[in-house]
Structure 1
Amino acid sequence: MFVRTTQSKAAAAARIGAGLARRKRIELLERLKPCFARTGTWQHAGKYMSALVSELPKRNGWTIAQHAGDRSPDRTQRLLSRAVWDESAAMSEIRRFAAKGLDTAARRRRRGSLVIAAIDETGQEKQGEFTAGVKRQYMGCAGRIANGINTVHLSYVRERTGHALAGARQWIPREHLEDPVKSLVMGLPLNLEFRTKGQLAIDLCADAYADGLVFDFVCGDEVYGGCTQLREFLEDNGQAYVLRVASSFMLTPVAGTKLTCAQAVKQLAKGKRCWEVRSAGRGSKGERWYARAWIGTASPRHHLLVRRHLKTGKPAFHYCYVPEGRLLTKTGLIRAAGLRWPVEEDFEFGKDCFGLDQCQARLYTAVLRHIVLVMAALAICAVTAAQLRDHTDTQAPPPVHPQQAPPGDPGLIPLTVPEIRRLLATALQPCYPSGHAARWLNWRRRHQARSRWFHHRTRLNQGNALVS
């Protein structure tokens, strides 16, 4: 009886999830239609998104075109590089779609959940030196110094509901913009100006405000907490923030006194009474417990929130601001500080499920358009998962003591973004015409033979140049 019940619930969740995901896909595509100059381009963008949610092991121009049923990659390459459509307007529509869908899911569940703008950057390794923004730099995705590009993202986070990427700006090194030859080769817009990552975060927040999005807090790591310009922008807009800062960040605990964060903790957070163990929020393995300390400053609206790991004792510092007229509580700041991690999960979903880091385009516009279409695919699955969260969550209550016996039926976790993607991929699987696979096999072999011939000729020419 237990097996039949579990299987029936799983089957019902699969049917409901696939149906809602398809409806959300249609809804978002309709919203994106005015962003495209031609209906054919819009339709191909829909096919591109279908390929992104598919089970393709790699999502590049060739595999996406083959999945779309095209005879060659030309249409896919044209969609990213030369077709007429407004990727900025499309990103705005995706942002509003994601925010509306997550807000609707939150209202159905409970009131009082925080809305967070989580800012962070992610990278993609690239070969060569002709991709827009490529530079030898530290790549977090590789964990080392590598050749790659970096993009700053904003994630719209609804506490205890869901989250999705809602904005992106690629970081372009200053030397690329100052070199007219490189700018031309990389397809950089003529009016593009150099912006630091903190300034790109300002642009993302400004875009979100222009679209009517409202956040309880803006959160980010040390790259953004250390940007004075970003903090001033947020304060000028009456935006509360909880930003990670370095241990060397300077504070003014009392008028006329300046201390680094590390010095402030050493002098002002002495003794056990200054610290209390509080949860940073529930994770997949349970509550995330840390020791917390709260240090005031000369400004009544600015505070330092210190987090200390219970095992290692390693501290982390969050500089916090809450505008005048809004309730300032330690609990609210702790909740906000614990909600920066969803942007990391969005990067994981974007890369593992939708090919965010598999784009082989090199031009600035093409890279951005790939990111926009990945954001659209992720938003569809994230909104669907959020709206089905309560309907598909049948987990047994968590244990309350270490010796508690396991439940007879552990239940089912709610449908996740990866599971929604799989359901949508199955629902959208196209029927290819006869001979489609064989044609693509021949196309790839012919194209690779042609490329190999030209590579050989290039090597011969290089060899002749060396001899001469």
Structure 2
Amino acid sequence: MYVPRPWTEDGQRCASAGIPADVGFATVPAPAAEMIAPHPGLRRPGALGGRRRGLRGNPTLRTELEQREVGYVLAVACDHRSPRSEERAAALVTEMPRRAWQRLSAGTGANGHRFYDRAVVYIADDRPGHNQVLVRRNRRTGELAFCRCYSSTAVPLSTLVGVVGRRWTVEETFQSGKGLTGLDEHQVRRWTSWHRWVTLAMLAHAFLAVATADALTGTHQTD
């Protein structure tokens, strides 16, 4: 739940809604970093927020993740510039040789695999790790999209593209939870009631996912 600044600055309003006193205002990148913090051993690249506006190329979040050696793939705008270069992300494409592009899919969608031309540009940086810009090109329209990537060890292009595809899995899970268990249909006015509703909706969705997986694999358990 997003609590806007006018709420967090009004203690009485928060108290009447049951919001804990220690809950303060936070921009989108802050809780993203907090969710990563309990997992210091995490090293695999992770798609954090995909194309959400608040996460796009956020330098504070990127720095914190790199300090923890947590790999990421974050969407950035075409005018994104690396810390060591004034060159825009879009300008990097003109320097790519034709052989740099590979036709890869980030996963299946409603109309089958999502095939795009993809390439990476390595960013010169004196910090540890591998910094890259991942470029996606629409084969029909030529439209470009960019992601800033980091990993503590070298990873292939196919791995970065696979991370991008996880965003769709997350979004499809949210849509499924809304459609099957009413994740977004809470009619509550208090913090505790909202948490109870969301927790039960997620639990019901998890049960349905497991039951479906069992049915598809033909494994049924009886008491």
Normalised by the length of structure 1, the TM-score is 0.42
Per the alignment, residue 107 of structure 1 pairs with: none
Per the alignment, residue 189 of structure 1 pairs with: 20
| Cα separation, 1, equivalents of 2:215 and 2:157 | 32
8 Å contact 1:268–1:295 — kept in the other structure? no
Q: Between Structure 1 and Structure 2, which shows a larger proportion of helix residues?
A: 1
Instruction: Kindly provide the amino acid, as one letter, of the partner of residue 74 in structure 2.
Output: L
Asked if residue 246 in structure 1 is aligned to residue 77 in structure 2, the reply is yes
Per the alignment, residue 263 of structure 1 pairs with: 91
Q: Cα–Cα, structure 1 residues 234 and 387, in superposed 2: closer, same or farther, change >3 Å?
A: farther
Q: Residue 263 of structure 1: CA displacement?
A: 2.5
8 Å contact 1:171–1:196 — kept in the other structure? no
Aligned pair count reads 213
| Cα separation, 2, equivalents of 1:216 and 1:235 | 12
8 Å contact 2:18–2:192 — kept in the other structure? yes
| Cα separation, 1, equivalents of 2:74 and 2:212 | 28
Q: Residue 259 of structure 1: CA displacement?
A: 1.8
Q: Cα–Cα, structure 1 residues 370 and 242, in superposed 2: closer, same or farther, change >3 Å?
A: same
| Cα separation, 2, equivalents of 1:389 and 1:198 | 38
Q: Cα–Cα, structure 1 residues 262 and 361, in superposed 2: closer, same or farther, change >3 Å?
A: same
Q: Cα–Cα, structure 1 residues 237 and 390, in superposed 2: closer, same or farther, change >3 Å?
A: farther
Per the alignment, residue 183 of structure 2 pairs with: 356
Asked if residue 371 in structure 1 is aligned to residue 198 in structure 2, the reply is yes
* Structure 2 unaligned regions, length at least 5: none
CA-to-aligned-CA distance 1:343-394 (integer Å, 9 cap, x gap): 11111111111101110001122212211111111122223434554448xx
Q: Cα–Cα, structure 1 residues 387 and 244, in superposed 2: closer, same or farther, change >3 Å?
A: farther
Q: Residue 198 of structure 1: CA displacement?
A: 0.9
Q: Cα–Cα, structure 1 residues 388 and 228, in superposed 2: closer, same or farther, change >3 Å?
A: farther
Per the alignment, residue 105 of structure 2 pairs with: 279
Q: Output aligned runs, 1:361-400, within 5 Å.
A: 361-386=188-213, 389-391=216-218
Q: Output aligned runs, 1:39-438, within 5 Å.
A: 170-207=1-38, 209=39, 214=42, 216-219=44-47, 220-222=49-51, 223-252=54-83, 255=84, 257-265=85-93, 267-269=94-96, 272-299=98-125, 301-323=130-152, 326-386=153-213, 389-391=216-218
8 Å contact 1:221–1:245 — kept in the other structure? no
CA-to-aligned-CA distance 1:111-160 (integer Å, 9 cap, x gap): xxxxxxxxxxxxxxxxxxxxxxxxxxxxxxxxxxxxxxxxxxxxxxxxxx
Q: Residue 318 of structure 1: CA displacement?
A: 1.1
| Cα separation, 1, equivalents of 2:164 and 2:216 | 23
Percent identity (aligned): 33
Q: Residue 339 of structure 1: CA displacement?
A: 1.8
| Cα separation, 2, equivalents of 1:364 and 1:263 | 47
Q: Residue 261 of structure 1: CA displacement?
A: 1.5
CA-to-aligned-CA distance 1:136-192 (integer Å, 9 cap, x gap): xxxxxxxxxxxxxxxxxxxxxxxxxxxxxxxxxx22111211122322332221111
Between 297-306 and 382-391, the greater mean CA deviation after superposition: 382-391
Per the alignment, residue 407 of structure 1 pairs with: none
| Cα separation, 2, equivalents of 1:364 and 1:341 | 29
CA-to-aligned-CA distance 1:255-299 (integer Å, 9 cap, x gap): 5x322222222x423x53332222222335332110112111003
Instruction: Kindly provide the amino acid, as one letter, of the partner of residue 274 in structure 1.
Output: A
8 Å contact 2:119–2:157 — kept in the other structure? no
8 Å contact 1:276–1:293 — kept in the other structure? yes
Q: Residue 337 of structure 1: CA displacement?
A: 1.3
**Structure 2 counterpart SS, 1:378:** helix
| Cα separation, 2, equivalents of 1:190 and 1:289 | 48
**Structure 1 counterpart SS, 2:37:** helix
Instruction: Kindly provide the amino acid, as one letter, of the partner of residue 160 in structure 2.
Output: L
8 Å contact 1:198–1:224 — kept in the other structure? yes
Normalised by the length of structure 2, the TM-score is 0.84
Q: Residue 234 of structure 1: CA displacement?
A: 1.9
CA-to-aligned-CA distance 1:400-447 (integer Å, 9 cap, x gap): xxxxxxxxxxxxxxxxxxxxxxxxxxxxxxxxxxxxxxxxxxxxxxxx
- Cα RMSD (Å): 2.4
Q: Residue 196 of structure 1: CA displacement?
A: 0.9
Q: Cα–Cα, structure 1 residues 352 and 229, in superposed 2: closer, same or farther, change >3 Å?
A: same
